[in-house]
Amino acid sequence: MPRQKENHNVPVVKNPAETLRALHDVAESGVDPLGVLAPMAHAHVAWLMHPLELAELGAKFSGDLMAFTWHAWNRALGLPSEDPIRPHADDTRFADPVWQESATWDIVKEWYLLLTHNVQDALYDTPAISGKERRRAAFWWRKWLNAMAPTNFLLTNPVAMAKAAETNGESLVRGMHIFLEDLRAGNVRMTRPEDFSVGKNLATTPGAVVFRNRLVEVIHYAPTTDQVHAMPVVIVTPWINKFYILDLNPKKSMIKFLLDQGFSVFVTSWKNPTPEMRDVSFEDYIIEGVNEAIETARGLTGAPQVHAVGYCIGGTALSTWMAWANRKHGELDQVPVAHWTLLTTLVDFSRPGDVEVFIDEGAVRWLTQSMQQKGYLDGKEMAGAFRLLRSNSLIWQYVVHGYLYGEAPPPFDVLYWNMDTTRMPYAMHAWYLRELYLRNNLVRGDALTIGGQPIDLGRIRQPLYAVTAEDDHIAPWQQCFRVCNHVPAEKRFVRSSSGHILGIVNPKVEPPKRSYHVGVAHRRDRFQQWQERAEEHAGTWWEDWVAWLKPQAGPLVDAIPASTDKFPKLADAPGTYVLEP
């Protein structure tokens, strides 16, 4: 009988503790890699182990159930009755009058709200487990409760049934067509891709690609004024999604706004990574991306220093570069950036907001193994995770309106951009998740090394203008404020209304649709102290930003064309990388 071949890839463990840990890791990766079941199980066990608190919880639910029963009897008998439980202010699922006017559907709605609110309150109040564990249990339960909402099913959605009756079933036929189109696309689409085309009705501001390497194209935009400030503006965009969120159309374009204000504008457009780029690191993005963009702007304009802007992960990269450059160059006037702006940027990842439900040791290990096999993280996976954070507004709304009402999604440029996803290189994203999200090393002095230099945010001395968004669920403004505690330079801090995208893509309109709070931030401030001092203004923070920036951006000089002999045009804006699938 031939001898069985040994498997030398099996990990060797030295003691029982390591054996148990290895078994735990295998089970976790195979059964519950994202930590969906474990937090809910821990919450249930915790309640069972605290009978006194469980009895109090039962008494509260009994009171709510009694109020609901009284309300249901009143409605069934045709008597007036105030709803004992109301939807949250941002819950629009039951906005149609039928959910209030019809006794039957009002009772269905109230029963659903009774259960969901009590379950969520119980999970947030779970005794003897950590706050993070409570939030994770509540999150995953909430996703299931959202999916089971009566609005999501034809026979429990009176609006959908009424539309079907009014159209003789045509709304359901249209809904089936929309469902089949989404099925072919592999996505619940939020807008129709055929309504938009990058370079035709998106990202149309004239300019030229003046630098290209394996990671980035640098676009210099054609001036719209005869003279510009001597100091150029370099915008480091996120490589999660594509740069044209800042250049959707002429009315919404931050890039065009800056050009019209007399600035010379450079923008990064990142390559969509392929499996061959699996080993591209975060450090590569800093040195070959951020640094090259800044050096290109200095070389083309002749300016010794620039103003740098970083958005989202682009801001995290810019913060890393600023710490590296201050360590490398030492003297303040030798650092290539004179002052800088951050847009909805995290540097302290200790409380990263709702996204923390996807991030723990087990989830990162599983995701790293998945990326290692493919060489990248697929953009659709990341987009799906972000949509799950707001499943009612970003998933179920489109299911209901599309499949049940038969309504095609309207054209919306922001949502098209949101669906135009990009991939993340394995090495970069694995490092990013582990070193920043898990270990929070960016705010630990000299804990990270970039370009051979240990970095510390405490070395950054250039004035900072930081913008956050009040309803941002990706980079919560309170956590974004923490940059003020780690950077000792002068800081002007802004909290815009709206969320992660619309708080930044915030052009001037009349009458104003949004507002912002602004004020000086000190290193020892907590966000509550800044909030007490901050002034509220109607309109867009863009105007406050340029008022802060212009006095520091140098004198007016003759504008330079988009490309020069030294930096010839490699392609017209928006370039080639942005068009890659």
Strand partners, 267: 219, 235
**Inter-residue contact 310 to 341 (CB < 8 Å):** yes
**Inter-residue contact 306 to 236 (CB < 8 Å):** no
Closest residue by Cα to residue 505 from 533, 542, 472? 542
In the set 312, 338, 428, 469, the catalytic residue is 312
C-alpha distances in Å from residue 308, one per residue of 186, 193, 262, 315, 519: 38, 32, 16, 9, 20
Closest residue by Cα to residue 424 from 386, 382, 373? 382
| DSSP summary character for residue 127 | T
Would you put residue 356 in left (φ > 0), alpha (ψ -120 to 50) or beta?
A: alpha
The backbone torsions φ and ψ at residue 145, rounded to the nearest 5 degrees and listed phi first, read -65, -40
| Rounded CA separation 348/358 (Å) | 17
- Biggest distance spanned by C-alpha atoms of the chain: 87
| Rounded CA separation 536/516 (Å) | 6
| Rounded CA separation 20/26 (Å) | 10
Coil, helix or strand at residue 252? coil
**Inter-residue contact 499 to 353 (CB < 8 Å):** no
C-alpha distances in Å from residue 142, one per residue of 137, 139, 145, 200: 8, 5, 5, 41
Is residue 312 flagged as an active site residue?
A: yes
| Rounded CA separation 352/446 (Å) | 22
Strand partners, 375: none
Closest residue by Cα to residue 472 from 350, 367, 345, 364? 345
Beta strand 464-469 with 491-496 is: parallel
The two structure tokens encoding residue 393: 């507004």
Coil, helix or strand at residue 473? coil
Q: Which residues are catalytic?
A: 312
